[in-house]
Amino acid sequence: MAGCIETMFYNGISTPSIGFGTWQAKDDELEQALNNALEAGYRHIDTATVYENEKVIGKVLKKWIDSGKLKRDDLFIVTKLPPCGNRPSGVATYLQRSLDDLQLDYVDMYLIHTPFAFIECGDMHPMKDGKIMLDMNTDHVATWKVMEEQVDAGKAKAIGLSNFNITQISKVLEHARIKPANLQIELHAYHQQVPLVDYAKKHGIVVTAYSPLGAPGLSKFMEDMNQKAPKMPNILDNPVVDEIAKKHNKSPAQVVLRHGVQKGLIVIPKSTNPGRLRQNLDIFDFELDENDMSKLNGLNKDARFLDFKVFPGITEHPEYPWKKE
Ligand code: NAP
């Protein structure tokens, strides 16, 4: 992709700083969108066992690789250990399941999706009496050891964490033989996570911003889970973003994505719309100046949109990462 900025991890592996998010994208819609995304130039794909879309992704990737249009090496594939597999005995099983579904021999990045865990019962989100069924015995250090074994076995090029807080990351770092390379967290103009990003940078961990557009599709997910969607401000309607977008002749989405990339983050916007997914990639032919950056930095209001409270009872888990918020 022309002019694309690359991000390098501490272990020398690098990836395009923009990836294709796939949460809430499935079946035929995703198949079409992923074809469009690969045509447009996306090479970094973000998925997870819980998105239940790895088979579709695997089918599309296989076609591209078999046809010779792409080599496996051209791609950067990220997937994640689900909360129901978040224990030492779950790691190899769930990673192998992802590899089988993705039709790959290895993933480029394997992340522990959340610091909390659900019980293992074959259901991604096991519920009983209206509450999520938590496994309270989560041991990050023990699970991390098995994550490291996946790198040794060549099944993951690198490993990392998602939705962990500073205390949780520091505990993993203290005991790690192979350091986490990547931290994937909610990060957008309204939730810039400055202390966590600074901490990660200090420890050589690359940060990936999920929901970089402020997750305008989140209310649909809440409704699908039979939950009332909170009223969330839409970053893409913010007048400051709009003014900067007009100045550069770009869209608000392109401005907030460029803001993330210029701060040294990887951004992984999701779109299944052919025009919008191309637009999101087209952020390497302009630069935000210091004044733009400081105005965008000033939009931060520590507004977390995705706190997983859609799963009733989740805050009772000892490793729920945002107890103090
Ligand atoms: P997002 O990328 O911030 O927003 C996606 C929403 O924005 C979709 O509704 C999309 O609709 C719309 N959109 C996309 N491009 C747009 C544009 N240019 N203008 C206006 N609207 C646009 O939110 P997200 O899906 O929550 O986050 C992105 C990815 O991060 C996910 O797909 C997933 O891969 C990852 N993620 C990880 C975690 C985790 O726990 N680790 C959690 C959440 C997300 P259309 O598709 O119709 O364009």
Give the tens place of pLDDT for each residue, 150-198.
Answer: 999 999 999 999 999 999 999 999 999 999 999 999 999 999 999 999 9
Q: Contact 50/114 with Cβ under 8 angstroms?
A: no
How far apart are the CA of 211 and the centre of ligand 1, in A? Answer: 5
The residue contributing the CA closest to ligand 1 atom 30 is: 210
What pLDDT does residue 163 have?
98
Select from 189, 192, 239, 194 the least CA-distant residue to 214: 189
Is the pLDDT at 2 greater than 70, yes or no? Answer: no
Pick the residue whose CA is nearest to atom 8 on ligand 1: 217
Give the nearest ligand 1 atom to 276 CA: 18
**Tens of pLDDT along 11-58?**
999 999 999 999 999 999 999 999 999 999 999 999 999 999 999 999
Helix (H) / strand (E) element for 113: namely none
Q: What sections of 44-193 are H helices per DSSP?
A: 54-66, 88-102, 140-152, 166-175
**Backbone φ, ψ for residue 217 (5° rounding):** -95, 5
DSSP-assigned beta bridge partners for residue 76: 44
Question: Residues 55, 68: contact at Cβ < 8 Å?
Answer: no
Judge contact between 49 and 55, C-beta under 8 A.
no
pLDDT at 228: 72
- How far is the centre of ligand 1, averaged over its atoms, from the C-alpha of 22 (Å)? 8
| CB-based contacts of 206, cutoff 8 Å, min separation 6 | 7, 8, 9, 181, 182, 183, 200, 266
Does the C-beta of 97 come closer than 6 Å to ligand 1? no
* CA–CA–CA angle 310, 313, 319 (5° rounding): 100
Query: Is residue 1 over pLDDT 70?
Result: no
User: How close is the Cα of 291 to the center of ligand 1, in Å?
Assistant: 27
Percent of the chain past pLDDT 70, that is, above it, reads 98
- Substitution site in 18, 20, 23 for ligand 1 pocket (most atoms within 8 Å of beta carbon): 23
Average pLDDT, the chain: 96
Give the three-class secondary structure for 164. coil
Please work out whether the CB of residue 250 comes within 6 Å of at least one atom of ligand 1.
no
Q: Is 51 a catalytic residue?
A: yes
Q: Which residue has the tokens 């909610």?
A: 186
Dist. CA 142 → ligand 1 center (Å): 32
The pairing of beta strand 206-210 with beta strand 266-267: parallel
What mean pLDDT comes out for the span 111-127? 95
What is the Cα 55 distance to its own chain's centre? 18
pLDDT digit string (tens) for 67-105?
Answer: 999 999 999 999 999 999 999 999 999 999 999 999 999
- Indicate the burial class of 288 (C-beta count within 10 angstroms; 0-12, 13-18, 19 or more): buried
- In tens, the pLDDT along 276-293 reads 999 999 999 999 999 999
Sign of the dihedral defined by the CA atoms of residues 282, 288, 292, 293, in that order? positive
Q: List pLDDT tens digits, range 195-240.
A: 999 999 999 999 999 999 999 888 777 777 777 766 778 999 999 9
Using the structure block, give the residue that is written with the tokens 């007048």.
239
